[in-house]
């Protein structure tokens, strides 16, 4: 009970008061069936995400485990986190939940997650998985989650068929993008796919912030939360870049990310900045990375991997399902599951020993970049790798307000962002490996 009060005290009221109420699951037909059931709360609801989750469920079934789906719609995972909070406070926590980055740390520090040290040791995770992945899983020297895949955030996608049809050279710089956008408009094609959905706006902005600031300054901003770092002129330039990019969309509006991907795939929009979950969805529409669309870094961020890592955490509860939870965690970290899941999802495996030549060209590039010791790897703020839920939401809101207010200048937005960081306070965290 003490842990529940601690959880309640630490959660923002906005995540509790307005949280959807999850109905209690129906009683199982018999005790034998319930022993193998693991209800999984997550936010994978697009066609490709559902297919990836179904792949995991099918592999679990082969081991005698039943995935009981608890998908909560809503891009970025905000609604799912609200449901998880509500269910936990009501004593109806799921056995498994998608918890990424800082959210995992918060829940582990409150003693709510099952420690998976025995699984990690038995399956030699520290040897087979990337150190950067293990750093995300460890809280106070305990492994508290099972990793699924690594997403790259700073991707620029170009529809090759559109560029080829209009005889426009694929751009690699901001100047080239501006020139291509003018040619696309002249040909009656909307240059950019963009949504005013808050988390999507902020995702684009953090890639632009990385582009303008570079990895070292970006780390000072999002890992150390150094307000002085936000004095840099690169922040103002990133806000202006966001406005210019949005203006190339011909009027955005709040649209699901899957709609943007569909427009891009159909050739209605020619360019898209988005994490590589977009590549998974493009695959369901028959497009292959490298062949049908180019996938390159947002200009100014080549050689940098801005990452987000999907993880599933096992809720401790009364430990009645520990054996089944450990069995599932062991499966999630296996090489076979990693390859099958990530091929569908658009992400890349968390292991260093997976034959990625079976993945498409874009996935191979992302994997090789992440695996290269010389690569600058920086965490996504918007996708919970650097900020807690309160700080992340405040950052998203600040950026979103700027995007929707044409009267707000980039300089004013920069001051607001700096003020936000001062309010949150600096936070020293272990550097990204």
Q: What was the pLDDT predicted at 27?
A: 36
Distance, CA of 118 to CA of 242 (rounded, Å): 46
Q: What is the mean pLDDT of the chain?
A: 89
Beta pairing, strands 66-71 & 37-42? parallel
**pLDDT exceeds cutoff 50 at 10:** no
Q: Look up residue 303 and give its DSSP letter.
A: T
pLDDT for res 73: 87
Q: Is the pLDDT of residue 133 over 90?
A: yes
- Rounded Cα gap, residues 419 and 396, in angstroms: 14
33, pLDDT greater than 60: no
Closest CA to 184 of 270, 66, 121: 270
Considering the domain architecture, whether residues 365 and 263 belong to the same structural domain is answered as no
In this structure, is residue 432 part of a structural domain?
no
Residues 59 and 142 in one domain: yes
Q: Do 58 and 17 share a structural domain?
A: yes
Instruction: State the pLDDT confidence band at 428, using cuts at 50, 70 and 90.
Output: very low
Q: What are phi and psi of 308, to 5 degrees?
A: -140, 140
What is the phi-psi region of residue 376: left when phi exceeds 0, alpha when psi lies from -120 to 50, beta otherwise? beta
The answer to whether residue 168 sits within a structural domain is yes
Give yes or no: residues 268 and 200 share one domain: yes
Q: What is the pTM of this model?
A: 0.90
Q: Running DSSP on this structure, what letter comes out for residue 268?
A: S
Residue 173 vs residues 165, 178, 298, 301, 370: alpha-carbon distances, Å: 21, 9, 8, 10, 22
| C-alpha span between 237 and 404 (Å, rounded) | 17
**Same domain for 71 and 181?**
no
Pair (263, 188) in one structural domain: yes
Would residue 298 count as lying in a domain?
yes
226-234, Cβ contacts within 8 angstroms, sequence gap of 24 or more:
226/421, 226/426, 227/418, 227/421, 227/422, 227/426, 230/414, 230/417, 230/418, 230/421, 231/418, 234/209
Mean pLDDT of 69-94: 88
CA dihedral over 66, 68, 74, 79, signed as positive or negative: negative
Shared-domain flag, residues 191 and 323: no
Residue 197, classified by CB atoms within 10 Å of its CB into exposed (0-12), middle (13-18) or buried (19+), is: buried
Q: 177: Cβ–Cβ under 8 A, 6 or more apart, which residues?
A: 171, 271, 299
Q: Are β-strands 37-42 and 96-98 bridged in parallel, bridged antiparallel, or unpaired? A: parallel
Q: Which residues lie closer than 8 Å to 307 by C-beta, 6 or more apart?
A: 132, 150, 151, 152, 153, 370, 377, 378, 379, 380, 385
Q: Do residues 136 and 199 both lie within one domain?
A: no
**350, 395: one domain:** no
**One domain, residues 133 and 159:** no
SS3 assignment, position 30: coil
Say whether pLDDT at 256 is over 70: yes
Same domain, 165 and 287: yes
pLDDT in tens, 109-127: 999 999 999 999 999 999 9
**Residue 57, in any domain of the structure:** yes
Domain at 278, CATH number: 3.40.190.10
Least confident of 23-32, 52-61, 154-163, 375-384: 23-32
pLDDT bucket at 317, cuts 50 / 70 / 90? confident
Asked whether the predicted pLDDT for residue 408 surpasses 90, the reply is yes
Residues 94 and 176 reside in one and the same domain? no
Q: What is the pLDDT of residue 380?
A: 96
Decide if pLDDT at 315 tops 80.
Answer: yes
Number of domains, the chain? 2
Range of the domain at 273: 155-306+378-424
């Amino acid at each position: 009970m003490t842990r529940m009060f601690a959880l309640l005290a630490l959660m923002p009221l906005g995540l509790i008061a307005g949280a959807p109420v999850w109905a209690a699951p129906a009683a199982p037909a018999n005790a034998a069936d319930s022993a193998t059931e693991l209800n999984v709360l997550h936010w994978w609801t697009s066609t490709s995400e559902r297919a990836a989750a179904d792949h995991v469920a099918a592999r679990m079934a082969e081991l005698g485990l039943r995935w009981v789906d608890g998908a909560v719609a809503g891009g970025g995972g905000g609604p799912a986190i609200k449901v998880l909070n509500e269910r936990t406070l009501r004593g109806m926590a799921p056995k498994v939940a998608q918890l990424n980055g800082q959210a995992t740390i918060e829940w582990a520090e409150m003693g709510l997650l099952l420690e998976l040290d025995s699984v990690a040791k038995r399956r030699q995770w520290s040897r087979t998985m990337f150190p950067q992945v293990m750093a995300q899983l460890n809280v106070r020297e305990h492994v508290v989650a099972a990793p699924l895949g690594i997403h790259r955030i700073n991707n620029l996608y170009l529809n090759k068929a559109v560029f080829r049809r209009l005889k426009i050279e694929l751009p690699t710089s901001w100047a080239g993008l501006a020139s291509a956008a003018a040619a696309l408009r002249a040909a009656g094609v909307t240059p950019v796919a963009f949504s005013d959905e808050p988390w999507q706006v902020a995702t684009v902005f953090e890639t632009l912030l990385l582009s303008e600031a570079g990895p070292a300054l970006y780390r000072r901003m999002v890992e150390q939360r150094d307000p002085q770092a936000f004095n840099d002129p690169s922040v103002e330039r990133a806000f202006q870049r966001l406005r210019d990019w949005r203006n190339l969309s011909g009027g955005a509006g709040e649209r699901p990310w899957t709609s943007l991907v569909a427009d891009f795939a159909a050739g209605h929009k020619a360019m898209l900045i988005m994490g590589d979950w977009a590549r998974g969805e493009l695959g369901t529409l028959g497009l292959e990375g490298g062949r049908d669309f180019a996938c390159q870094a947002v200009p100014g961020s080549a050689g940098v991997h801005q990452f987000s890592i999907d993880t599933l955490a096992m809720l401790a509860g009364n430990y009645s399902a520990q054996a089944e939870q450990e069995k599932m965690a062991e499966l999630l970290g296996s090489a076979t599951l990693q390859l099958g899941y990530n091929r569908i999802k658009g992400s890349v495996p968390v292991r260093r020993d997976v034959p990625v030549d079976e993945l498409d060209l874009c996935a191979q590039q992302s994997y090789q970049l992440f695996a290269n010791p010389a690569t600058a790897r920086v965490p996504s703020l918007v996708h919970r790798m650097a900020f807690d839920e309160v700080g992340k939401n405040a950052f998203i809101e600040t950026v979103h307000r700027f995007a929707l207010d044409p009267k707000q200048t980039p300089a004013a937005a920069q001051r607001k962002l700096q003020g936000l960081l001062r309010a949150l306070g600096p936070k020293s965290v272990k550097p990204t490996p």
